Every structure is written in C-alpha cells, then in structure tokens.
Amino acid sequence: MPNKFTTALKPKPTPVSAGKIAESDSVEQGRGKHIGGYFDPAVSKQMRAIALEEDSSVQALLEEALDMLFQSRNLPLIATRKDKKG
C-alpha cells in the first residue's frame, strides 16, 4: 500500500503545450471528438496534396471519407461538420 509521501513524489502529468488543445477542452468548445490513426508519411503527404489541389482541407477530406464509409454501411451521414462557415 503506497503511503502519502511516495504518492506526493510521483511525477505529475505534463500540461498541454500552448500549441495543443486538450481533448476535453476541444469537446467543450464544440469542436467534437478527435479520431486519429498512424499511417505511412506518404498518406499524409497525399492527403495534403489533394486538399491543396482541391482548395480544401485535410479535415474536409476526412469528413467526406467517413461519410462515404458510413454510406457504404447504410448508416447516417454524420461526419460533415454542421458548424462550418460559408
């Protein structure tokens, strides 16, 4: 059973850096829930190239791809963000 002293000496979690938003903050601010994965760097490069070519964003391409996945499984198209401007 750990005592209070050893518990107090345990390292604290590192705070979120200035460039990153904590997931709970993001959800509370209406940005939604982060979904991510690890892919070959070529995937990222190709996604950014398509986004640039189509004057779009990687976010918009991922929304489109997820809605296509949902559609292929006869599920509601819910990935496209409702809070988009314009």
Question: Which band of pLDDT confidence, cut at 50, 70 and 90, is reported for residue 14?
Answer: low
How far lies 76's CA from each of 29, 43, 69, in Å? 24, 26, 10
In a domain? residue 15:
no
In a domain? residue 25:
no
In a domain? residue 81:
yes
How far lies 7's CA from each of 4, 11, 13, 14, 49, in Å? 5, 9, 13, 16, 49
Number of domains in the chain: 1
Share of the chain above pLDDT 70, in %: 60
In a domain? residue 14:
no
In a domain? residue 3:
no
In a domain? residue 18:
no
**Token pair in block for residue 76:** 């509601």
Q: What is the pLDDT of residues 46-86, one digit of tens each?
A: 999 999 999 999 999 999 999 999 999 999 999 887 666 44
| Amino acid of residue 67 | D
In a domain? residue 23:
no
How far lies 17's CA from each of 3, 11, 14, 24, 31, in Å? 31, 17, 9, 14, 18
Domain span at 78: 40-86
